[in-house]
Amino acid sequence: MALYLDRLISLIIFFSIGSLLFIDKGGILLGFIFILSLVGLFVRRHESSPLKKWEKLFLTSFISFFLVILANVIYFDGALRDIDTMSRFIFAIPIFLYFRKSNISNSYLFSGLYFAAILFGANVFSQKYAGMEIIEFSKPGQVGIISLYGGMLGTLFYFLINKNNGNIRNFVYFVAGYLGIGLSVLMSGRGVWLASIVTFMLLFIFNPMHWTMKEKFKVSLTVIVSVFLLYISPQSGMKSKIDTTLQNSIKYIQEEDHRSSLGARLEMWKGALLISKENIFFGIGENNFKEHKAKLIDKGILTEWVARYNHPHGEYLATLTEQGIIGLFFLIYVLFFPIIFSLIQIRNKSQISDYKIVMVASISLHFALYSLTNGVFDHQNTTLFYSIFISIFLALWSRDKNIKEL
């Protein structure tokens, strides 16, 4: 029974990443993984596998973050729908507990990531350069989310290039990396560009793949040339986006012109800080930012230009405003625990598989950095991706005897 469950879940995993972007309500596949994990835990209920210290800390991060949101909603008489998205952190727990016991192969997950990078990237390149889509995105308007997945996948596969792989495998990784980064660039997610650049730099410095200087030079040159080719391509829109951002920055500084994406963000961030200053400990409650922002607009503190926005466009500021400094603490706990744990493995020269570290680091760093300029947990799609796949990756780590304990 357990063997068949593992095979079925492995098959679902392979398609689940792509389903999040290409199938409307594609997260239902992850719902099947949740249900099958509950069944699997029952089937393996007699198998003893005590939780390690780091596993308890990881699970505590998810549970605590959800409980803070729940308590906040209750305190401010919010609606149950306000905790719907965040409940995905609780759904991820049985998945983590089952995967750490299971015999599910890493190869299915890895193949799914590769398939997603190739299909996502090829789809956008075909759309931009040939005027046709291979398959339609389920939510074409959410360019930030699509760009985020591209940045994560592109960074991941570039960092898997290694002299020990052989030329064919490295070429395969290069193609996936180029299509992933290309997807991110072509979808014009400027916040993701920043997150990808910083993620690449940090991974380059900490060097989880143990690259030599020669390998560092080759991969860096490959990435620079790849991005430059996209930059000079008229279809990519990268150059015009950068030029527009610089012009809007100058206008905001010199003329306080808020009539741009950048200007609106800076204005909302100012509003979020002012609101949180008056409600520093418990915040103002889930989904109450628009109401308090309207009061600042009425007083002339904020411009009318930002009246249409419902949140501050930044996960850290949104959490600080709505759940206070307590909520912000647990948000940082959720986002940075996988990053810190990854760094511990690198620093202690853990013999855990290098690609496992890169997977966790690429996803968690992208989410942590992208949260500076956008909301990541106000969308079902990204909340599902982060909570479920970080849980799966870390559960696979748990089965590795070479992992370094905290």
pLDDT of residue 16: 83
Please tell me the predicted confidence (pLDDT) of residue 355: 73
> Is 193 among the domain residues?
no
Model pLDDT, residue 251: 75
289-296 contact pairs (CB < 8 A, 24+): 289/318, 289/321, 289/322, 292/321, 293/268, 296/271
Residue 268 sits in which domain range? 239-316
CA atoms of 223 and 197, how far apart (whole Å): 10
Query: DSSP letters of 276-307?
Result: HHHSTTT-S-TT-HHHHHHHHHHTTSS-GGGT
Which pLDDT tens digit goes with each residue over 299-326?
A: 888 888 777 777 888 899 999 999 999 9
- What is the value of pTM for the model shown? 0.91
Average pLDDT over residues 40-52: 88
The sign one gets for the Cα dihedral 56, 376, 373, 19 is positive
Q: Which of 128-132, 141-145, 327-331 is predicted with the least confidence, judged by mean pLDDT?
A: 141-145
| Per-residue pLDDT tens over the stretch 155-191 | 989 888 887 788 888 888 899 999 888 888 888 777 8
pLDDT tier for residue 368 given thresholds of 50, 70 and 90: very high
Integer Cα distance of 85 and 103 in angstroms? 30
Domain membership of residue 355 (yes or no) is no
pLDDT tens string 234-265:
877 788 888 887 887 777 777 666 677 777 88
Report helix, strand or coil for 32. helix
Mean confidence (pLDDT) of the chain: 85
pLDDT band at 350 (very low <50, low <70, confident <90, very high): low
CB contact set of 229 (below 8 Å; sequence gap of 6+): none
Contacts of 312 (CB under 8 A, 6+ apart): 268, 269, 271, 272, 289, 318, 321, 375
Output the six-digit token pair for 348: 């202690």
- More confident: 78 or 371: 371
Label residue 346 by pLDDT band (50, 70, 90): confident
376 within domain boundaries: no
Confirm whether 297 is domain-assigned. Answer: yes
104 occurs within a structural domain: no
Total domain count, the chain: 1
Instruction: Confirm whether 210 is domain-assigned.
Output: no
pLDDT at res. 45: 85
Structure tokens at 226: 């790849």
Mean pLDDT (whole number) for 24-37: 84
**Is the residue at 373 inside a domain?**
no
CA distance linking residue 71 with residue 89, whole number of Å: 15
Q: What is the pLDDT at residue 267?
A: 84
pLDDT digits (tens, 9 = 90+) for 279-291: 888 899 888 888 8
Query: To which H or E segment does residue 96 belong?
Result: helix 88-99
How far is the C-alpha of 100 from the C-alpha of 110, rounded, in Å?
A: 17
Highest mean pLDDT: which range of 12-21, 91-100, 219-228, 308-317: 91-100
Residue 299 belongs to a domain? yes
61: confidence class by pLDDT, cuts 50, 70, 90: very high
Residue 29: pLDDT above 80? yes
Show contacts of 389-393: CB within 8 Å, 24+ apart: 389/17, 389/363, 390/92, 390/338, 390/360, 390/363, 390/364, 391/62, 391/92, 391/93, 391/95, 391/96, 391/99, 392/13, 392/95, 392/96, 392/99, 392/109, 393/109, 393/338, 393/356, 393/359, 393/360, 393/363
Phi and psi (nearest 5°) for 216?
A: -60, -45
User: What number is the average pLDDT over the span 24-30?
Assistant: 76
What's the CA gap between 240 and 255, in Å, rounded? 21
The pLDDT of residue 24: 64
Q: How many CB atoms lie within 10 A of CB 337?
A: 20
Give yes or no for residue 338 having a pLDDT over 90.
yes
Confidence of residue 402 (pLDDT cuts 50, 70, 90): low
Q: Give residues with Cβ within 8 angstroms of 354, minimum separation 6.
A: 162, 208, 209, 210
Checking if the pLDDT of 351 tops 80, the result is no
pLDDT attached to residue 369: 95
